[in-house]
Amino acid sequence: MLWFLPIGTFLRKYEIKLEMAMCGWNVCDVATREKFTSIDWISPSSTLKDTIEWLNKGKTKLIHPPKRSFDVIAFKNKMNLRGWGYTDSRVSLEKNGFFFHGDRYVNVSNNPLPKFKGFCNTMVPGFDDKGVRNVVVDLKPTDEQTRRDESRKSIVQSALYHVQQHADLEANTDYIVRVNGSHGQELTEIHTNIHNSFNNIADMVVFPETRQSVVDLIIAARSHDIILIPFGGGTNGGTNVSRCLEIPDHCMDRVVCVVNMTAYCSVEWIDKTNMMACVQAGATGDDLELELGKYNVMFGHQPDSCEFSTMGGWVSTNASGMKKNRYGNIEDNVISVEWVDGNGNISTNKNYQRTAIGPNSAKMMFGSEGNFGIILSCVISIGNLPEKTDYDSWVFPNMKKGIQFMKDVSETDSWPASLRLMNNEQFRLGQAFKPPASKFKALIDPILKFVLTRVKGFDLMEMAASTVVYEGSKEQIALQKRIISRCAGKYGGMSGGSSSGKDGYNVTFAIAYIRDCLYKYGIMGETIECSVSWRDLNGMLDGVTREFHDMCDKRGITDRFFCYRVSQIYKEGVCVYCTFGLPLDDTKRDIGIFAGIERETRLSILRYGGSLSHHHGIGKLRAEFIHDEFDESEIDVMTSIKSTVDPKNIFANGNGIFAA
Ligand SMILES: Cc1cc2nc3c(=O)[nH]c(=O)nc-3n(C[C@H](O)[C@H](O)[C@H](O)COP(=O)(O)OP(=O)(O)OC[C@H]3O[C@@H](n4cnc5c(N)ncnc54)[C@H](O)[C@@H]3O)c2cc1C
């Protein structure tokens, strides 16, 4: 039977192929087709349009990676549901000091952290004297929760039925799965989790695997008054973030269903001609890079949470990665967003690299925090894997000199992929978190220290440190290294070598585990990030540090820790992280003191010219300050949009402007 048309490999000239296809030439049989499996084939029933499309497709090198089958529950089993990270990794305080368990993190895992206990003791003397204060309480429904569940039973049963009927989704109602879908990683949320003292827990969690099931679910929710809360990696809230996922009281009048998107996680296609890829919303950062890497391409968006955070979560929170200088912030590299609103309507844009065709709804999804609908997939801009990655580190006599160095680099036109600057306290924290030094390092460390203090005259309690990641071609990296070295030299910088720079970045992924361990001993830590202009930077850092210590003094908190780092540079300013730690006698009783200091520190940042957030979003934590950022007319616009795209308030989780 003659029903296949071979063209392509034999005749490379596009026009000739087209002509032949149009004339219906070289029609061949199945045997021929099987013999030449590497040849592209097309059915003779195709129209001319199909043929042209097919020929163009050949040119665009479109790859369709196989669908990823992802077992969400198995993945969740690997995760610590009572705090941060994987179950196989944790920090504990042993007789001889801290120990980092597991084997996941290069140079840190399965190692003692010999200096860390000493460091904690200088900050909070005798911090472990009282032993473990926050013992993890079993995660099972409290009497109050059981009573609540009982009173909601009939509405929940009815919702379960409709979700199953209309969206063909089997909702999970296990207590632990529900709890896990009802919070992020902000410290007060972890506190609630450890003590099993949640106020509001979702009634069910669904794990859609197809686009259609998400649309059907929304239509069912609309008809049966069910609240939907989109959920990605659940990392928003972490050592800082914004409590986007916390369920407010007003939601509990209705049935609450968490829509965990992590099973919808494939790369749908990769277009290597136009350097784009289409990624489903539930793909985590690490999985996305793994998948793209198979085809020698990459995305490059790398937030510190990239092991768990997802494509949909990044867009929804307007995330920023540590290598943003090379790969951009999330909004720079997402070309289109496909999302479905509260009416069940899908919106998307064509994939042009740029257009000037008016406002579009896809832009609205950046920073939407689950308020408008569910992000299904994104078309992203991809790049080839870098030829080379290299690291570097520099120390400066003090933070002010370090900032001058950063400013100079920002005025050049060739920035390394990542450039960070830590103040002295943050630098010492990082040093204390290091595993034991190799014999060689142990030998040369005192020599380096001698050169640093005696020859260069650095004060170890004043100096600041910068870590650098270079990515790109050898020529680009060589140029960037020259620029960094020139700028650093101007401000008395001394090279700390590439291995220190590399260690600095490796530690980034491990350091989140320490918070949970310290919390057990009553030390509560938090990080607040913001944007600030170059002009306001020094004033803000000095002012906020001073006010933090003053407010602790007023409350009689003598032992405390405060540090900061500049994590991103822009031509116009920087992103700053302020981290603080406080010992609380009774964390359960004193959580309010902690929350009060957190709030006042944020106010202090605003007063000195910092923004409400650079990338963690608003959620519920910062919602009370929203009027500092938006005026009423802007809020009105957003409220009108919300009532159009979600008239029944299905996405009622209330973040940012929409917080109650
Ligand atoms: C240790 C740690 C380090 C971090 N480092 C960084 C960092 O370097 N840079 C940075 O930007 N952030 C960082 N964060 C914050 C957090 O990882 C980001 O906010 C991240 O973008 C959240 O993604 P997620 O998939 O975990 O979303 P989630 O936490 O699950 O959800 C966050 C919000 O997005 C909404 N949402 C999620 N998926 C969808 C979807 N498909 N459609 C619509 N709405 C959705 C949710 O409803 C919620 O409002 C860090 C957090 C932690 C704990």
Residue 129 per-residue DSSP state: T
Q: How confident is the model at residue 34 (pLDDT cuts 50, 70, 90)?
A: low
**Alpha carbon distance 163, 157 (integer Å):** 10
Q: What value does the mean pLDDT of the chain take?
A: 88
CA torsion angle for 400, 402, 407, 408 (degrees, to 10)?
120
Which residue's alpha carbon is nearest to atom 11 within ligand 1? 319
**Alpha carbon distance 449, 446 (integer Å):** 5
Most confident of 144-148, 194-198, 237-241: 144-148
* pLDDT of 70 above 80: no
Q: Which two structure tokens, joined as six digits, stand for 395?
A: 């120390």
pLDDT tens per residue across span 518-528: 988 989 888 99
Q: Would you say the CB of residue 230 lies under 6 angstroms from ligand 1?
A: yes
Q: Which amino acid is at 21?
A: A
* pLDDT of 28 above 50: no
Q: How confident is the model over 331-346, as a mean pLDDT?
A: 97
What pLDDT is recorded for position 59? 56
Q: Would you say the CB of residue 583 lies under 6 angstroms from ligand 1?
A: no
Q: How confident is the model at residue 543 (pLDDT cuts 50, 70, 90)?
A: very high
User: Which of 432, 528, 434, 423 is CA-nearest to residue 466?
Assistant: 423
Which residue's alpha carbon is nearest to atom 8 within ligand 1? 303
Q: Could you say which of 105, 391, 564, 577 is catalytic?
A: 577
Q: Would you say the CB of residue 238 lies under 6 angstroms from ligand 1?
A: yes
309 Cα–ligand 1 center, Å:
6
366 Cα–ligand 1 center, Å:
12
What pLDDT is recorded for position 4? 44
Tell me what percent of the residues of the chain surpass a pLDDT of 70: 90
Q: How confident is the model at residue 452 (pLDDT cuts 50, 70, 90)?
A: confident
User: Which of 65, 69, 60 is CA-nearest to residue 40?
Assistant: 60
* H-type alpha helices, 465-584: 474-490, 498-520, 534-554
pTM for the complete prediction?
0.89
Determine how many CB atoms are found less than 10 A away from the CB of residue 242: 25
Q: How confident is the model at residue 54 (pLDDT cuts 50, 70, 90)?
A: low
**Does the active-site annotation cover 577?**
yes
Q: Would you say the CB of residue 280 lies under 6 angstroms from ligand 1?
A: no
Judged by average pLDDT, the poorest of 87-101, 257-271, 498-512, 600-614 is 498-512
What pLDDT is recorded for position 60? 59
Q: How confident is the model at residue 269 (pLDDT cuts 50, 70, 90)?
A: very high
User: Which of 395, 426, 429, 430 is CA-nearest to residue 503?
Assistant: 430
Q: How confident is the model over 637-644, as a mean pLDDT?
A: 96
Q: Which amino acid is at 268?
A: E
Please list the helix, strand and coil fractions of the chain in percent, rounded to the nearest 5, in that order: 40, 20, 40
499 Cα–ligand 1 center, Å:
30
Q: How confident is the model over 324-331, as a mean pLDDT?
A: 97
What pLDDT is recorded for position 53? 65
186 Cα–ligand 1 center, Å:
11
**Alpha carbon distance 71, 461 (integer Å):** 49
Q: How confident is the model at residue 57 (pLDDT cuts 50, 70, 90)?
A: low
Residue 248 · residue 219 · CB < 8 Å: no
Q: Which two structure tokens, joined as six digits, stand for 641?
A: 């949009």
Residue 500 · residue 420 · CB < 8 Å: no
Residue 226 · residue 255 · CB < 8 Å: yes
End-to-end CA separation in angstroms for the chain = 68
pLDDT tens per residue across span 104-126: 998 889 999 999 999 999 888 88
- Beta-strand pair 255-260/204-206: parallel
User: Which of 258, 291, 283, 263 is CA-nearest to residue 378?
Assistant: 283
Cα-only R_g, the chain? 27
Determine how many CB atoms are found less than 10 A away from the CB of residue 222: 17
Ligand 1, from 279, 310, 317, 418: best to mutate by most atoms within 8 Å of Cβ? 317
What pLDDT is recorded for position 71? 80
* pLDDT of 18 above 70: no
Determine how many CB atoms are found less than 10 A away from the CB of residue 482: 11
Q: How confident is the model over 157-165, as a mean pLDDT?
A: 96
Q: How confident is the model over 269-279, as a mean pLDDT?
A: 96
Q: How confident is the model over 340-363, as a mean pLDDT?
A: 92
Q: How confident is the model over 617-626, as a mean pLDDT?
A: 89
Determine how many CB atoms are found less than 10 A away from the CB of residue 503: 22
Residue 494 · residue 395 · CB < 8 Å: yes
* pLDDT of 168 above 50: yes
Q: How confident is the model over 379-390, as a mean pLDDT?
A: 97
Atom of ligand 1 nearest to the CA of 319: 11
What pLDDT is recorded for position 455? 87
**One-character DSSP codes across 52-116:** HHHHHHHHHTEE-PPPPP--HHHHHHTB-TTSSSBTT-EEEEETTEEEEESS-STTTTTEEETTH
What pLDDT is recorded for position 433? 87
Packed helices 14-23 and 48-60: angle between N→C axes, nearest 10 degrees:
150
Tell me what percent of the residues of the chain surpass a pLDDT of 90: 64
253 Cα–ligand 1 center, Å:
26
Establish how many alpha carbons lie within 13 A of residue 473's alpha carbon, considering only the half-sphere containing its beta carbon: 4
* pLDDT of 515 above 60: yes
**Alpha carbon distance 565, 107 (integer Å):** 23
Judged by average pLDDT, the poorest of 320-334, 439-453, 496-510 is 439-453
Q: Would you say the CB of residue 211 lies under 6 angstroms from ligand 1?
A: no
